[in-house]
Amino acid sequence: MTQVDRRSFLLLAAATTGGFMGLQRAAGTNRLGFPSAEEGYGKLIPDPAGILDLPAGFSHRIISRWGEEMNDGLLVPNLHDGMAAFKGEGDHVVLVRNHELGIDSDPSHGAFGPEFERLGRVESSSFFDFGKDGPPVLGGTTTVVYDQRSGEVVNHFLSLAGTGRNCAGGMTPWNTWITCEEWTQRSDERCAVDHGWCFEVPADGRGGLVPARPLLGLGRFNHEAVAVAPDGRCIYLTEDRNDGLLYRFIPNRPGHLAEGGRLQALMIRERPSLDLRNWIDPALESPIVSTRERLPVSWIDLDDTGSPEDDLRFRGFEAGAARFARGEGMWTGRDDIKFVCTTGGVGRIGQIWNYVPSPAEGTPDEASQPPILELSIEATEGGIIENADNLTISPLGDLFVCEDGPPGNGLVRISPDGAVARFALNRMSGSELAGACFSPDGRTLFVNIQHQGITLAIEGPWKTGA
């Protein structure tokens, strides 16, 4: 495994604070009334290749495509989703990428060929779920080693096999990717084991499958994304349900998640079981929470976190936890955590939240210095920041948000002063963009077009183009 590059992790994370403060100041103003794309990096230029429109001076290249043969003799799977970029040797970047496939996926979308003719290249013991008397579960992760100098992929391989609907996840300060199953399938006549877990994949560019061992302490539910505190003390998790919770895992030993810990759910102090979805008729009453409102937080311990009945969110809500609408993308900042709720808000087209940990986060002293939750943005009309999904933060402090709404999806850039503008538009299809992440040095933005199974590398005047 590559040595921990905590400095790079913190450099990316440190950019967050200023950007989030800007969002808080601007929330509810005309700047967040969706200014035109002329702001920021400028107007989008139609892509002659019909793939991705970008501002002038920026360019993209396809570095990986569904169905291509990888270095291990397997095929690039389809449905690219969450992803993170890690520092490799020299100018190499190691991308670990999810594939949102399951037991019912078309075999031609998997790594083993339409007739499973390449399945024999992988030992069945390497799969988390090889299936019962039928095909294996086709989800998992692939790893791409990209040379920024040459613009070429130098290694490409399957790194986790037999998991299901790997949607998002999160990077850790110890150079691993936590991949999450957005699928709570129980073992049955097709699946050999229960699903709904998180798995850890090292950012190792040498090749080979990692043991598919679930991180049981992180609970069993419809996982989406993960954010890890820079010191590893706490892990935050979103749940992609219209009635989901926000979770926190406190490991017994930071950096060693398989050794267990405590799983908790977020509660708003003195307002137990608060519904933060803001699903109301605006003509009849005010939202439950407004932008810039500071909500003191406490965390409640959960039991039976293996949740065989997939009822963890119900039990947590009854115990006082707050309810969210489809928690999805999440990213770590130096002093805070940013996450989205795809169907939150009065218009049910998305919220972006800011969680500010306590100086005593995860300790008994937290009670006297409570964490704070704030609603940064609530989209009220379509057209931009519609159904926000994955998100990332640039080294300059910009928040880049992937949209997962009606056709016309793209990347939205939110600057540190709160200006909102479209940065990229998918011209290829109506598919969502997913897995946006920057190389550790900030030179390259990587993003996936999910349904076409394409990974793009975007370069341009990040520092001078604005």
Provide the pLDDT for residue 39. 56
Low-confidence ranges of the chain (pLDDT < 70): 1-39, 282-284, 382-383, 464-466
Provide the residue ranges of all domains of the chain, joining segments of one domain with +: 6-459
Overall pTM > 0.75: yes
The neighbouring-strand residues paired with 437 are: 446
**How many CB atoms are closer than 10 A to CB 7?**
11
Provide the pLDDT for residue 31. 32
State the DSSP code for 270. Answer: T
The neighbouring-strand residues paired with 402 are: 411
Provide the pLDDT for residue 291. 87
159: which residues sit within 8 A by CB, 6+ positions away? 96, 140, 141, 142, 143, 201, 204, 208, 209, 210
Report how far residue 204's alpha carbon sits from residue 402's, in angstroms, rounded to the nearest whole number.
Answer: 26
CATH superfamily of domain region 6-459: TolB, C-terminal domain (2.120.10.30)
Tokens 């992937």 appear where? Answer: 402
